[in-house]
């Protein structure tokens, strides 16, 4: 069953007879967008965007309720993981800039310290101090943050903390004063004898969640991660509030690719808008030409195939409508025009079509070249079902996020987490029995060989349909539908014989499940 967006596009395509607007053969993305950009289509897309409700965090009352629940569990010596879960819910429910949000971060820092998650606890303390945390309670948060710094063995971070403490502590007879002097001595020593070359550095791959306080949906692994992503998220935030990204699937990544590369291609888009560059194809040639510089990684991205010339017209129209809708979203629902100083008025419509054409191109490229990235993820927060009851976190050790001995297989399963584009790896052809495997570590993709590859032999990747996971008939159908080619690899040429492995695997899996 399709999403609300899918249902809307089907109704619009049928009622406006949009198939009659598209001609064959396919020429370029801007031609398709221009043919579909009549007033009636634009008004329908604008209306659909306007009717999406704003979904913001639930409010301070719910946040306070969840935080109180977490406090009671913390005092009652409940599982640290259950307490952390309650504080997470309190933070997600709190409105941006509210006192409830600051209190939630401060409380979560306490349980994170207990779990040894000092970097995340440090960030939570900072978020509390940056927010509307009660003035009379700030001193204990400062000392809590200093404890994190000491455990992180990074005394150079103590400077701002000491400044904050000194504003609250003025009586030398108080114990807080003596603690502050100790911290000051450690900070002075670190400044006097800095460590220039670290023999070993270690950092968590993924910390506790830090969310956008405005939309309450976009999550980051740290404050720094959130700040680094701001150039893109400032235009995505409204979409999260409207749950737009939930409805449109991979098209969300299409607009993200566009936003990520817009700075490098802005001048060329403006030239296309005022006809200095005569056509969209000329724009592509300008950006992807080997002799051109200044486009960075975006040049590789723009050169990837879309297979639009092989796709059914119905698919082309769906991609184009998604791109048009996203361009309208950028121009009318976000500060995109003002922040980039783009032209207003009559010329804005042509510029919007140019942007929509690029977004459409990226959607097609993601369908053909996107890498689906999976990782081992905790199953249902490591819960177990006991009859009608559900016990959460019983598989985890009490003082860490590590599974108990012998229970690892019950905690994790492979799950797709996101899709990304790696232009160089996208150059590899497909084989249902590839000679490489992909390993993802954060945003880095490393390719390893699975067997010896002879000199001048081709490196072959698997686009998803692997002979160990899918029958030959399904593989051929999948590759034709998504990638528009008929596979002629060794395993596909074997016809029915190549399904032996899959049949035997399913047989043994069934036996083990019954035992």
User: Can you give the pLDDT at residue 198?
Assistant: 41
Closest by CA position to 209, among listed 90, 97, 99, 95: 90
Query: Cα dist. 285→33, 110, 280, 291, 302 in Å?
Result: 19, 56, 9, 11, 10
Contact 335/260 with Cβ under 8 angstroms? no
**Quick one: DSSP state of residue 454?**
-
Residues 18, 14: Cα–Cα separation, whole Å: 7
> Does residue 4 carry a pLDDT above 80?
yes
> Tell me: the pLDDT tens digits for 413-440?
777 777 888 888 988 999 999 999 998 8
Q: Is residue 290 part of a domain?
A: yes
Q: Is residue 376 part of a domain?
A: no
Q: Is residue 175 part of a domain?
A: yes
Name beta bridge partners: 277.
Answer: none
Q: Do 363 and 237 belong to one domain?
A: yes
Using a pLDDT cut of 90, give the percent of the chain over it.
Answer: 39
Q: Is residue 333 part of a domain?
A: yes
> Does residue 346 carry a pLDDT above 80?
no
Sign of CA dihedral 38, 40, 45, 50: positive
User: Can you give the pLDDT at residue 307?
Assistant: 93
* Helix intervals (H) in 276-373: 280-288, 296-302, 313-333, 336-340, 346-369
Q: Do 432 and 490 belong to one domain?
A: yes
b/e map 465-504, b = 16+ CB within 10 Å: bebeebebeebbeebeebbeeebebebbeeeeebbeebee
Domain-terminating residue out of 326, 348, 368: 368
Q: Is residue 209 part of a domain?
A: no
User: Can you give the pLDDT at residue 377?
Assistant: 65
DSSP H or E run through 117: none
> Tell me: the pLDDT tens digits for 311-342?
999 999 999 999 999 999 999 999 999 999 88
Residues 88, 115: Cα–Cα separation, whole Å: 15
DSSP H or E run through 438: strand 436-441
Q: Are strands 460-461 and 429-430 parallel, antiparallel or unpaired?
A: parallel
Q: Is residue 377 part of a domain?
A: no
User: Can you give the pLDDT at residue 17?
Assistant: 92
Closest by CA position to 502, among listed 479, 472, 468, 473: 468
User: Could you tell me the pLDDT band of residue 154, with boundaries at 50, 70 and 90?
Assistant: confident
Q: Do 452 and 342 belong to one domain?
A: no
Q: Do 106 and 226 belong to one domain?
A: no
* Helix intervals (H) in 414-487: 472-483
Query: Cα dist. 413→387, 391, 454 in Å?
Result: 22, 18, 35
Domain-terminating residue out of 352, 368, 384: 368
Average pLDDT over residues 356-377: 88
Contact 99/133 with Cβ under 8 angstroms? yes
Counting DSSP H helices and E strands in the chain, the numbers are: 23, 10
Contact 90/70 with Cβ under 8 angstroms? yes
Question: Phi-psi category of 77—alpha, beta or left, where left has phi over 0 and alpha has psi -120 to 50?
Answer: left
Q: Pick the more confident residue, 409 or 308.
A: 308
User: Can you give the pLDDT at residue 179?
Assistant: 77
Average pLDDT over residues 390-418: 64
* Three-state DSSP class for residue 384: strand
Contact 125/145 with Cβ under 8 angstroms? yes
Q: Do 176 and 233 belong to one domain?
A: no
> Does residue 291 carry a pLDDT above 70?
no
Task: Name the maximum alpha-carbon separation found in the chain.
Answer: 86
User: Can you give the pLDDT at residue 389?
Assistant: 45
- Our count of domains for the chain comes to 3
User: Could you tell me the pLDDT band of residue 232, with boundaries at 50, 70 and 90?
Assistant: very high
Q: Is residue 379 part of a domain?
A: no
Q: Do 359 and 442 belong to one domain?
A: no
> What domain range includes position 36?
4-52+222-368
> Tell me: the pLDDT tens digits for 177-209?
777 777 777 767 766 665 544 443 344 434 456
- Chain mean pLDDT for the chain: 83
Q: Do 16 and 111 belong to one domain?
A: no
Domain-terminating residue out of 335, 350, 368: 368
CATH number for the domain including 476? Answer: 2.170.270.10
Q: Do 45 and 8 belong to one domain?
A: yes
Q: Do 331 and 233 belong to one domain?
A: yes
CATH number for the domain including 120? Answer: 1.25.40.10
Q: Do 237 and 281 belong to one domain?
A: yes
* Three-state DSSP class for residue 377: strand
User: Can you give the pLDDT at residue 110?
Assistant: 93
Q: Do 68 and 178 belong to one domain?
A: yes
Q: Is residue 92 part of a domain?
A: yes
* Helix intervals (H) in 76-168: 80-93, 99-114, 118-130, 138-152, 158-168
Q: Do 76 and 31 belong to one domain?
A: no
Q: Pick the more confident residue, 465 or 408.
A: 465
Most trustworthy range by pLDDT among 144-158, 288-302, 316-330: 316-330
């Amino acid at each position: 069953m399709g999403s609300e967006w899918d249902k809307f596009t089907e109704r619009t395509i049928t009622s406006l007879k949009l198939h009659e607007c598209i001609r064959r053969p396919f020429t370029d993305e801007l031609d398709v967008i221009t043919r579909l950009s009549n007033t009636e289509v634009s008004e329908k897309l604008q209306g659909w965007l306007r009717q999406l409700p704003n979904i913001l965090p639930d409010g301070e009352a719910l946040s306070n309720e969840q935080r109180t629940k977490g406090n009671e569990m913390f005092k009652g010596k409940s599982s640290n993981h259950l307490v952390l879960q309650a504080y997470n819910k309190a933070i997600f429910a709190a409105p941006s800039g509210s006192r409830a949000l600051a209190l939630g971060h401060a409380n979560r820092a306490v349980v994170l310290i207990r779990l040894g998650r000092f970097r995340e606890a440090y960030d939570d303390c900072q978020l509390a101090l940056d927010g509307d945390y009660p003035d009379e309670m700030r001193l204990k948060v400062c000392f809590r943050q200093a404890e994190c710094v000491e455990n992180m063995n990074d005394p150079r971070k103590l400077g701002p903390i000491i400044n904050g403490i000194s504003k609250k502590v003025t009586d030398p007879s108080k114990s807080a004063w003596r603690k502050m002097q100790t911290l000051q001595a450690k900070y002075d020593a670190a400044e006097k004898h800095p460590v220039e070359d670290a023999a070993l550095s270690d950092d968590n791959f993924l910390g506790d969640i830090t969310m956008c306080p405005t939309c309450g949906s976009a999550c980051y692994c740290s404050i720094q991660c959130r700040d680094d992503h701001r150039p893109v998220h400032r235009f995505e935030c409204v979409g999260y509030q409207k749950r737009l990204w939930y409805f449109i699937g991979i098209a969300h990544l299409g607009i993200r690719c566009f936003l990520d590369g817009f700075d490098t291609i802005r001048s060329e888009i403006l030239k296309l808008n005022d006809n200095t560059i005569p056509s969209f194809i000329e724009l592509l040639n300008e950006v992807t030409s080997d002799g051109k510089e200044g486009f960075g990684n975006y040049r590789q991205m723009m050169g990837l195939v879309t297979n639009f010339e092989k796709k059914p017209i119905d698919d082309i129209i769906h991609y184009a409508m998604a791109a048009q809708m996203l361009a309208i979203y950028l121009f009318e629902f976000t500060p995109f025009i003002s922040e980039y100083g783009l032209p207003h008025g009559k010329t804005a419509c042509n510029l919007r079509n140019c942007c929509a054409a690029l977004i459409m191109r990226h959607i097609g490229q993601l369908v053909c070249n996107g890498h689906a990235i999976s990782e081992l993820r905790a199953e249902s927060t490591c819960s177990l079902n006991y009859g009608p009851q559900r016990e959460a976190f019983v598989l985890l050790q009490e003082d860490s996020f590590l599974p108990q001995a012998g229970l690892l297989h019950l905690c994790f399963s492979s799950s797709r987490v996101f899709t990304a584009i790696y232009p160089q790896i996208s150059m590899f052809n497909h084989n249902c029995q590839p000679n490489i495997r992909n390993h993802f570590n954060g945003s880095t993709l490393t390719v390893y060989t699975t067997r010896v590859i002879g000199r001048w032999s081709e490196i072959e990747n698997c686009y998803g349909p692997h002979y160990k996971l899918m029958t030959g008939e399904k593989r051929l159908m999948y590759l034709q539908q998504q990638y528009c080619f008929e596979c002629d690899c060794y395993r596909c040429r074997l016809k029915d014989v190549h399904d032996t492995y899959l049949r035997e695997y399913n047989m043994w899996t069934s036996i083990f499940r019954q035992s």
